[in-house]
Structure 1
Amino acid sequence: MQSLQNAVSNWLDHLAIQQHSDHTLAAYHRDVMAFLNYCQTQNILINKIQLSDLRQYLSYCVEQKHWSNQSIQRALSAIRQFMQWLQQQQKFSEDAKFKDFKIKREPRALPGMLSPENIQQLLDQPAPENESENWLWIRDKAMLELLYSSGLRLSELVKLKLLNIDWTEKMLRITGKGNKTRIVPFGQKAYSALRIWMDYRLQKNISHDYVFIARSGQQISDRQVQNRIKQQAKRAGLSADLHPHLLRHCFASHLLSASGDLRAVQEMLGHSNLNTTQIYTHLDFDHLAQVYDQAHPRAKKY
């Protein structure tokens, strides 16, 4: 088993060079080691593994561990990549074509949706009268404006540093999944909210590389951002379960609805595959009907 653990470590080192994120590498390690431990309990030698063994393992995960389809897909992806890497390293023969083993994916569910009016209700709500809560609103408003203005992921917002902001051009340098860098714009409302937050930091002599910080003076955490967004949604009187990804979805949907430029939205979201962006093509029927009436040659009345 020790030699297999070394093989897994070497494989992960190979992936790290390709700039996979730490989160992805940890998930891959967990999934592959779980499969190898299963094979050991079943007395299955690594160089004798067949597709039937993989099917049996995945069935075991569904029946005994109650894994979801999403968990199965993630584990299968990790195991397939590892086994193919072993084959390339000539650890065993090419008999088992693991890359050919696939599971039908469930349709991706669309995230929830807020209307532009809901977004306005959230972002334009009055500041709290309580002074201790007011500074939190100054920070939270800047975070909310930036999430909606630029479609940032939660992790990208949390890791945003002052040096990543181009104030003159109103641009952000974002490092996203796979350590890929992209440049995204932010609007005037986000600019104003960020400036107010920067002025507050200056008044309080707050010095920190990260843009958003917690009460403790340290970099804000993912969970703290999630909690504050829910708190601000509740204060604004919104019934929706608001979270950072919902604001990212609203950014993409509203921008795509107004512009129709799927490629531009893809670039701003940082999607490597256009198919991923197409989940945001969920437009309301009124808009679709309006586009049809304006564009289709047989829709016009003479």
Structure 2
Amino acid sequence: MRYPLDFKDDFPNNLLFWMERFIYSKLNSLSNHQVRDKKEIVNALNKLRYGIAEIKELQEICKQCRNAGLIGINTYVQPLIKLYEHLTYLGLASLKEVDEEMLKEFLTIYTSALSDATKKNYRMTLLNFFGFIDKQNEDDEGSSYNFRIELKNWGGLRGKSGQKLPSYMNENEVHRFLNGINSFPFKHEDLGARNRLLLKLIIYTGIRVSEALNLKIKDITLDGEFFLIQVRGKGNKPRVVMIKAKNISCDFSAWINFRPTEVQDELVFCNHKGKKLTQAYVSRIVEQVLLTNGIRKEKNGAHMLRHSFATLLYQKSQDLVLVQEALGHANLNTSRIYTHFDKQKLKNTTEIMN
């Protein structure tokens, strides 16, 4: 049976569903000659067949199978658990936003201290997982979405194919996007102030969607002509980003006046009930602004704003360490992807032969 790629308006649950289906297929295909208690495997299959509610359940089911003698399942579950943590943290709205560059970033972060053999297991798991989704997803019209993940060149594992570059806006498109934010016809004045502030924070600083949605009032302070923003990144690692006050002052003041008096965890951004916004909502707003202003990219989600910021930052600064610090990357190699957009260096290659 085939399923829609995004059958719910909830990225974490969609991702968990496909991991559940993938593990179910693996339990049915792995060699079971060492299995001591076949009832345990049957119980695990039943749990997966009827669906699970959280990633911890998947981990426990695989542990149950491993203890019963199905050793090979551990090769797949550990990378998938880490992948789930990584992708849900990024604040994606759709599985279609996952691309090769994003997966290579994941591999760089989570396998840097691992052996080559384990790195290969991680790569194999990602290839198998997304290959499985390629074959099993189908929309109402009978069409399938194909990720075509190859991962032929990452870290210390080299292949014939180079990296796929992420989608990003050039400087002209960024200006159009910013103008589009200001002119976009949001339904209500308070939502307009909130959404403009949110999108500007992301595009001007390159912070992740999840980092923006987790900001608290106390995290934003005015320091002369700048706002200092304390961000909690992956692993709860703190960093500080800056934004010119003139770029967000009006929207910030307007939203603070509109913002409900009782807000969950004192969050900066919330809905009318004071609850946290969803990452899917932010990506929908980004896509609407992009399309309204005639900006079309392969990936239209909110994460593309982060790529655009990082690309322009490197082009203007030529400082890879600055890009790493601004984005909160744990490894400099993760930031190195943005050196591929250096047009000035490319132009120098044209001077070799007259």
Structure-1-length-normalised TM-score: 0.63
Is 1:283 the equivalent of 2:341? yes
Is 1:127 the equivalent of 2:180? no
One of 220, 223, 228 as aligned partner of 2:277: 220
8 Å contact 1:253–1:280 — kept in the other structure?
yes
1:280–1:33 distance in 2 versus 1, CA, 3 Å: farther
SS at the partner of 2:230? strand
SS at the partner of 1:149? helix
Give per-residue Cα distances to partners, 1:108-154, cap 9 Å, x unaligned: 53321211111111111353567x34443322222221111111011
One of 36, 39, 43 as aligned partner of 2:66: 39
Moved more, 110-119 or 203-212: 203-212
- Aligned partner of 1:103: which letter? K
8 Å contact 2:194–2:255 — kept in the other structure?
no
Residue of structure 2 equivalent to 1:272: 330
SS at the partner of 1:249? helix
1:109 & 1:266 partners in 2: Cα distance?
A: 19
1:141–1:222 distance in 2 versus 1, CA, 3 Å: same
Is 1:54 the equivalent of 2:111? no
Deviation for aligned residue 1:276: 1.1
Residue of structure 1 equivalent to 2:28: none
Deviation for aligned residue 1:32: 4.4
2:184 & 2:205 partners in 1: Cα distance?
A: 25
Residue of structure 2 equivalent to 1:199: 253
- Aligned partner of 2:183: which letter? A
- Aligned partner of 2:275: which letter? Q
Deviation for aligned residue 1:281: 1.7
2:164 & 2:247 partners in 1: Cα distance?
A: 32
Residue of structure 2 equivalent to 1:118: 173
Residue of structure 1 equivalent to 2:120: 103
Deviation for aligned residue 1:206: 3.4
Give per-residue Cα distances to partners, 1:143-193, cap 9 Å, x unaligned: 22111111101110100111111211422110000000011122x3xx335
Deviation for aligned residue 1:278: 1.0
Residue of structure 2 equivalent to 1:19: none
1:216–1:282 distance in 2 versus 1, CA, 3 Å: farther
1:290–1:113 distance in 2 versus 1, CA, 3 Å: same
Residue of structure 2 equivalent to 1:173: 230
1:141 & 1:275 partners in 2: Cα distance?
A: 32
Find the structure with the greater CA-based Rg. 1
Identity %: 24
Residue of structure 1 equivalent to 2:197: 142
2:236 & 2:319 partners in 1: Cα distance?
A: 25
1:157–1:40 distance in 2 versus 1, CA, 3 Å: same
Unaligned ranges ≥5, structure 1:
1-25, 45-52, 62-67, 82-97
Mapping of residues 290-301 of structure 1, within 5 Å? 290=347
Deviation for aligned residue 1:300: 11
Give per-residue Cα distances to partners, 1:202-248, cap 9 Å, x unaligned: 44363342222224332222122112111222222322342221111
Give per-residue Cα distances to partners, 1:85-124, cap 9 Å, x unaligned: xxxxxxxxxxxxx985441741453321211111111111
Moved more, 275-284 or 155-164: 275-284
Moved more, 199-208 or 262-271: 199-208
SS at the partner of 2:341? coil
- Aligned partner of 2:248: which letter? L
- Aligned partner of 1:115: which letter? N
8 Å contact 1:127–1:134 — kept in the other structure?
no
Moved more, 265-274 or 107-116: 107-116
Unaligned ranges ≥5, structure 2:
1-53, 80-98, 124-150, 154-162
1:198 & 1:219 partners in 2: Cα distance?
A: 17
- Aligned partner of 1:37: which letter? Q
8 Å contact 1:142–1:193 — kept in the other structure?
no
1:257–1:129 distance in 2 versus 1, CA, 3 Å: closer
Is 1:263 the equivalent of 2:318? no
Residue of structure 1 equivalent to 2:239: 182
SS at the partner of 1:198? helix
Residue of structure 2 equivalent to 1:246: 304
Aligned length: 230
RMSD: 3.8
1:137–1:234 distance in 2 versus 1, CA, 3 Å: farther
